[in-house]
A and B are shown apart, each in its own frame.
Chain A
Amino acid sequence: MSTTRTRRAPRPAAAPDPRAAHRLALLESMLRVRRFEERCVELYSAARIRGFMHLYIGEEAVAVGVNEALTDEDAVVSTYREHGHALARGVPAEAIMAEMFGRVTGCSRGRGGSMHLFDAGRRFYGGNAIVGGGLPLAAGLALADRMTGRNRVTCCFFGDGAFAEGEFHETANLAALWRLPLLLVCENNLYAMGTALARHQAETDLALRAAGYGMVSWAVDGMDVFAVEDAARRATEGVRAGTGPHFLEMRTYRFRAHSMYDSDRYRDKAEIDHWKERDPVEGLARLLREASELTDEARAALEDRLAAEIDAAVDAAEQAPEEPVEDLLTYVTSPVEVNRP
């Protein structure tokens, strides 16, 4: 892991340390994703949520760390493993939970489900369930900014599986050719569904290959939220400075199976356990505890607050109405009269 940063635990200080507050905020953000998804598993097992559902557990540092480098004006394009991206972006847990319940209050009014969360107001351009399908779209968002002179970044998340898609090649070339303000974040969790990286890529150093398109490209320890944030900040600074697209290979790992239907036969338990030792959430919590930045009481209070937030989201989702069937065809086309002669 070429840019792994070992951060020395900060010493406790008498005055409130803004950096400590930031570290706590990172922990809270990651923990929200973790606890939200754990609740999703329970609800899925109870058949309250249906469809395909892909968990981000283990990869939380990537979404949370990258989001630190983005402003409200920037755009995010995501994948079908997107709960973490949406939550980190600020999409309310309530709107996401309601979407998974298929309710009208869901962030896609029940049309999308787990794989298709959208929030136009937060410039969250959604979960794309076609692997690689969000990449050209993200290039277009960036192209519009470039053509209109807006200094904004479009951040596109995708996995190592998408690296095999032609759309990655097309988008990387297009973005580098046109120097688009695009941040490409490859979440390399070592598996394209059940196919290991070495079984689907001839050259497994993805950052090296991305550099071949003429992009600034780094590999990052995706289990270390500080390393992720630092790399994302440097990359977005480069993008904002007009130096074209940047590529970040986030080396990470999902602790859970690919989806709720996956029996996970293709990975060794020892491998999973090895990566769990590098749990980004508990790792940070341990670091903060050792640095006396997080007491046991504060941790418990944080857990209580998140549990209450998620409880409220579930309650609201359960009570929310479903979209009436009469509105089945709404939003197929825009409710605007096309001009007639």
Chain B
Amino acid sequence: MTATHTRSTAPATPIAPATPTSPSAPTSPSAPTASSVPSGCKTTYREAMREALREALRGDERVFLMGEDVGRYGGCFGVSLGLLEEFGPERIRDAPLSESGFVGAGIGAALAGMRPVVEIMTVNFSLLALDQILNNAATLLHMSGGQLPVPIVIRMTTGAGRQLAAQHSHSLEGWYAHIPGLRVLAPATLTDARYMLAPALADPDPVLVFEHGSLYNVSGDLPADAGPVGIERAAVRRPGTDVSVITYGGSLPKALAAADDLARAGISAEVIDLRTLRPLDDATIGESVARTHRAVVVDEGWRTGSLAAEISARLAEQHFYDLDAPVERVCSAEVPVPYARRLEEAALPQAATIVTAARRAVGEPLPATAGPAEPQPVDRGVGGAG
């Protein structure tokens, strides 16, 4: 009865790139390729993610990818382009627009011994699956007295900066980081994009991976020494001595840009990439703040009840006497993310607002030109559809 509507087997000819990209984007999804990207080679965040998936699918027949348009379309953001041709429609499984249904199915498959990677197009859509993520994935192990671990990986895009307005742009990873039983990851670098999936799949418990939409087109050389990474610890992305800038995901490039600006003003900022939002790596954060005595937390979530609020509270609890200044927070304005470019930029953390906050923290007078009045342009990374 569904013969005319069921997916056919893998097409004989490669499918065309289906993801709209900006004409100038130098790293639009390329045609499917079977070759992997060795370390030291030029790649993009998107390709690194794809390589991680390919490696997982090749290495473990229990692994499969499931989600909306992951197969013939190649993934809403082009991450899975070409994987259908290599692994077939059973393992690169297009799902109907039933977030709760296919996330729950992923949980059930995990219970039955599979290692599903479930892709949700954006974090806003994940709210349709929140019941399954919270009430089943995060809860079953405990509620069953340890009988039912749920080894599922759920990937989703998060964040703003692409003029996608208020239903495709929010940063709700802080909500998920609230939930016991989940591990929450935010790969922000090419290396983490390439290597975080393997330990996530090895984790016996549910792991959520948040991929900031502005990062997919980030390109660069995968470091020659890039290799397996852990998912326990935060990373110091830039050492410094005067102030700790604590951030993650799509805000990391902005924090690094701010650190460059601060360096020109003689302020040495240490940039910490949280990488794992739950459980938080208190040790790395604390060790840094114990040295710099000042902290700026940058979080694209809304300020109230945010991950930044949690980190600030921990610093107050654990490092009150190390701090020489109040903890600064740079968060998104408390408004649904607007469409218009200038409004959207004003709503989000920017390098300039991070610089301002860091200067306040270290007690430096703010230069006349600094301040939030004229936000800097942000990475216009394109790659979304839908």
A residues in contact (CB < 8 Å) with B: 75, 106-112, 116, 118-120, 125-126, 128, 130, 133, 135-145, 147-148, 154, 166-167, 169-171, 173-174, 176-177, 214, 330-334, 336, 338-341
Beyond A126-B143, A140-B111, 5 additional contacts (C-beta under 8 Å) are: A126-B144, A147-B90, A173-B98, A177-B96, A333-B183
Instruction: Give the distance in Å from the alpha carbon of A335 to the alpha carbon of B96 in the complex.
Output: 35
Is the Cβ of B144 less than 8 Å from the Cβ of A118?
Answer: yes
The residue among B107, B108, B143 with the most chain A CB atoms within 10 A of its own CB is B108
The A-B contact count (CB < 8 A) is 164
B324 nearest CB across to chain A (Å): 33
User: Is B55 part of the binding interface, using a Cβ–Cβ cutoff of 8 Å?
Assistant: no
Is the Cβ of B100 less than 8 Å from the Cβ of A166?
Answer: yes
User: Is B229 part of the binding interface, using a Cβ–Cβ cutoff of 8 Å?
Assistant: yes
Known: A140-B106, A332-B141. A167 touches B64 (CB 8 A): no
Is the Cβ of A332 less than 8 Å from the Cβ of B6?
Answer: no
Q: Contacts of A141 on B, CB cut-off 8 Å?
A: 108-109, 111-112
Instruction: Give the distance in Å from the alpha carbon of A166 to the alpha carbon of B297 in the complex.
Output: 39
Is the Cβ of B108 less than 8 Å from the Cβ of A142?
Answer: yes
- Of A144, A170, A331, the contact of B96 (CB 8 Å cutoff): A170
Is the Cβ of B104 less than 8 Å from the Cβ of A108?
Answer: no
Nearest B residue to A156 via CB reads B108
Q: Contacts of A107 on B, CB cut-off 8 Å?
A: 145
Instruction: Give the distance in Å from the alpha carbon of A135 to the alpha carbon of B105 in the complex.
Output: 8
Q: Contacts of B230 on A, CB cut-off 8 Å?
A: 338-341
Is the Cβ of A144 less than 8 Å from the Cβ of B113?
Answer: yes
A213 nearest CB across to chain B (Å): 10
Instruction: Give the distance in Å from the alpha carbon of A341 to the alpha carbon of B198 in the complex.
Output: 12
B residues in contact (CB < 8 Å) with A: 1-2, 6, 64, 90, 95-96, 98, 100-114, 116, 131-132, 135-136, 140-149, 180-181, 183, 199, 202-205, 228-232
- Of B112, B143, B228, B229, the contact of A140 (CB 8 Å cutoff): B112
B243 nearest CB across to chain A (Å): 27
Q: Contacts of B231 on A, CB cut-off 8 Å?
A: 338
Q: Contacts of A112 on B, CB cut-off 8 Å?
A: 143-145
- Of A110, A142, A167, the contact of B101 (CB 8 Å cutoff): A167
- Of A137, A173, A214, the contact of B104 (CB 8 Å cutoff): A137
Q: Contacts of B114 on A, CB cut-off 8 Å?
A: 143-144, 147-148
Q: Contacts of B204 on A, CB cut-off 8 Å?
A: 334, 336
Is the Cβ of B135 less than 8 Å from the Cβ of A137?
Answer: no
Known: A334-B205, A338-B231. A174 touches B102 (CB 8 A): yes
Nearest A residue to B200 via CB reads A338
> What are 24 A-B contacts defined by CB distance under 8 Å?
A108-B143, A111-B145, A120-B144, A120-B148, A126-B143, A136-B107, A137-B108, A139-B105, A141-B112, A144-B112, A144-B113, A145-B112, A147-B64, A148-B114, A167-B131, A171-B104, A331-B142, A331-B146, A332-B142, A334-B149, A334-B203, A336-B204, A339-B230, A341-B229
Known: A141-B111, A339-B230. A334 touches B141 (CB 8 A): yes
Is the Cβ of B109 less than 8 Å from the Cβ of A170?
Answer: no
Q: Contacts of B181 on A, CB cut-off 8 Å?
A: 332-333
Nearest A residue to B204 via CB reads A334
Instruction: Give the distance in Å from the alpha carbon of A256 to the alpha carbon of B203 in the complex.
Output: 44
Is the Cβ of A136 less than 8 Å from the Cβ of B2?
Answer: no
For the complex of A and B, 8 pairs with smallest distance between CB atoms: A140-B108, A136-B104, A109-B145, A170-B101, A144-B112, A170-B98, A118-B144, A140-B105
Is the Cβ of B112 less than 8 Å from the Cβ of A111?
Answer: no
Instruction: Give the distance in Å from the alpha carbon of A176 to the alpha carbon of B5 in the complex.
Output: 12
Q: Contacts of B131 on A, CB cut-off 8 Å?
A: 130, 133, 167
Q: Contacts of A133 on B, CB cut-off 8 Å?
A: 104, 131-132, 135-136
Known: A136-B101, A144-B114. A118 touches B205 (CB 8 A): no
A321 nearest CB across to chain B (Å): 14
Is the Cβ of A116 less than 8 Å from the Cβ of B199?
Answer: no
Is the Cβ of A137 less than 8 Å from the Cβ of B136?
Answer: yes
Instruction: Give the distance in Å from the alpha carbon of A136 to the alpha carbon of B105 in the complex.
Output: 5
B137 nearest CB across to chain A (Å): 10
Is the Cβ of A140 less than 8 Å from the Cβ of B104?
Answer: yes
- Of A108, A143, A214, A338, the contact of B105 (CB 8 Å cutoff): A143
Instruction: Give the distance in Å from the alpha carbon of A107 to the alpha carbon of B148 in the complex.
Output: 12
The residue among A112, A130, A144, A340 with the most chain B CB atoms within 10 A of its own CB is A144
Nearest B residue to A330 via CB reads B146
B163 nearest CB across to chain A (Å): 30
Instruction: Give the distance in Å from the alpha carbon of A174 to the alpha carbon of B98 in the complex.
Output: 8
